[in-house]
Amino acid sequence: MNRRRAFQTLLATTVGGVLVSGLVYARKVEPNRVEVRRCSLSLPRLGRPFEGYRIVQISDLHADRQMTPGRLLELVGLVNSEAPDLIVITGDFATHSPFFSLVDHAAKLAAPLRRLRSPDGTFAVLGNHDHKTDADLVRNLLSSGDVTELRNAVRTLKRNGASLHLCGIDSALEGKDRLERVLDGLPREEAAILLAHEPDFADTSAATGRFCLQLSGHSHGGQARLPLLTPFLLPPLSRKYPGGLYCVGGMLLYTNRGLGAHPNLRFNCRPEITVFTLQAE
């Protein structure tokens, strides 16, 4: 009997220690282990002058007590070190919760965002947390941070007579997307890239046949990925395409795992900066 009790105590202590260690790792270690992923993409209709064009994507900053201006400044340094031609941010600058709303934290991110450097600038779309928190405040943050919001809009980039169309839709989860407005302003020729916070919107955007590539975030990659199990922290409109590269109806989709998280923990799902090098098909 004493041996059995000793074994049960040892087992409980071991399991408890593993759980506590795993939680500490998920809260304090992995959220700071940023992975820079590099991906070469061949896009149809991409003009030869854009051969080798570099786009850096970041997403889901989720300003809170961990994503401070100092932390973001470190991440900005990583982005700039990749010498991008263009920087895109696919939503959720703010963090909203039933228990708290960190509006002030988001407002403090403008100064680090101003340090982003790329010849063609920095463009962004809003996410669902931005609308639930305060969309006007987030838009002021972007303006102060020299970031251009693509609010159901199109911006055409030019290089040696060739065009690359950069498009953006507002949050589909919040019902703010107006794809028809984007299509009305989108020329029919040459490559088009769509920024859309929610990755599962790809089923809709791919059906138009007009976009070569959609860049999204929102999922955080599921945050906790355990062997043989489906990620269980996936928000709506990210459960079909939770992370990485997909081909949807002939359109490429990339879902970035984000740099912040909500709730703030990660396990086997590191935060991500993605570097795309475009190739003409």
Closest of 13, 123, 152 to residue 59, by C-alpha: 123
Place 233 in a pLDDT band, splitting at 50, 70 and 90: confident
Q: What is the pLDDT of residue 97?
A: 75
Q: Between vectors from CA 131 to CA 129 and to CA 136, what angle results, nearest 5°? A: 125
109-150 per-position pLDDT tens digit: 999 999 999 999 999 999 999 999 999 999 999 999 999 999
Mean pLDDT of 148-173: 97
Mean pLDDT of 33-55: 97
Q: What average pLDDT is seen over the chain?
A: 89
pLDDT-based confidence at 228, cuts 50/70/90? low
Asked if residues 255 and 246 have their Cβ atoms less than 8 Å apart, the reply is yes
Mean pLDDT across the stretch 210-239? 87
Q: Is the pLDDT of residue 279 over 90?
A: yes
Give the Å distances, CA to CA, from 79 to 41, 75, 142. 19, 6, 17
Instruction: Say what the pLDDT of residue 232 is.
Output: 67
Q: Which pLDDT does position 263 carry in this prediction?
A: 80
pLDDT level of residue 225 (50, 70, 90 thresholds): confident
Please report the pLDDT score of residue 62 as a whole number.
93
Complete DSSP assignment for the chain: -HHHHHHHHHHHHHHHHHHHHHHHIIIIIGGG--EEEEEEEEETT--GGGTT-EEEEE-----SSSS-HHHHHHHHHHHHTT--SEEEEES--S-B-SS-B-HHHHHTTHHHHTT---TT-EEEE--HHHHHHHHHHHHHHHHHTT-EE-SSEEEEEEETTEEEEEEE---TTTT---HHHHHHTS-SSS-EEEE-SSGGGHHHHHHTT--SEEEE-SSGGGSB--TTS--S---TT-SSS-SEEEEETTEEEEE---SS-SSS--BS---EEEEEEEEE-
Query: What confidence score (pLDDT) does residue 28 get?
Result: 58
* pLDDT at position 101: 62
Other CB atoms closer than 10 Å to residue 228's CB: what's the count?
4
Residue 211, Cα to own-chain centre: how many angstroms? 18
Judged against a pLDDT cut of 50, whether residue 205 lies above it is answered with: yes
Instruction: Indicate the CATH number for domain 33-280.
Output: 3.60.21.10
| Residues 6+ away with beta carbon under 8 Å from 262 | 62, 64, 95, 97, 129, 220
pLDDT at 231 over 60: yes
pLDDT score for 22: 45
If we measure between CA atoms, which residue out of 59, 81, 120, 50 comes closest to residue 277? 50
| pLDDT over 70 percentage in the chain | 85
pLDDT for 102: 65
What are the structure tokens assigned to 197, written together? 């916070």
Tens-place pLDDT, residues 78-121: 999 999 999 999 999 998 876 666 667 788 899 999 999 999 99
Instruction: Note the pTM of the prediction, 2 decimals.
Output: 0.90
CA 92 vs CA 114, 140, 184, 233: distances in Å? 17, 14, 26, 16
What is d(CA 271, CA 281) in angstroms, rounded to the nearest whole number? 30
Position 262 confidence tier, pLDDT thresholds 50, 70, 90: confident
Please tell me the predicted confidence (pLDDT) of residue 226: 73
Tokens representing residue 251 in the block? 């359109």
